[in-house]
Amino acid sequence: MSTVNTIEGLGLKDPPEIKKNNNTDDNELSLKEILNEKLKDINDLQIKSNEGTQQLITGEADNVHEILLNTEEAVLALELAVKVRNKMVEAYQEVMKMQI
């Protein structure tokens, strides 16, 4: 039976540590900040759509077409957000499958 060599025996070293660059410009936003901003925008669209729907139900609405457009915009924005989330989850799963 043969023995298994350890990593030290192969001459492999630990990978170098990745240092975070904390010197970011004011113009640069992190992915988290961008996603939070866009989710707030989508939430605002949903709120605007709900308010328009309430106005339509109560008879306060003047322009039905604008309410329908706002509702469709909110639906499309939400669908896009779900697709982006799904792609991010898939990418994360692919990274986690990688062997080191």
Domain residue limits, the chain = 28-97
- What is the Cα–Cα distance from 100 to 98, expressed in whole angstroms? 7
DSSP letter assigned to residue 27: T
Q: What are the tens digits of pLDDT across the range 15-69?
A: 555 555 555 556 788 989 999 999 999 999 999 999 999 999 999 988 899 999 9
Reported pTM: 0.65
CB 77 within 8 A of CB 42: yes
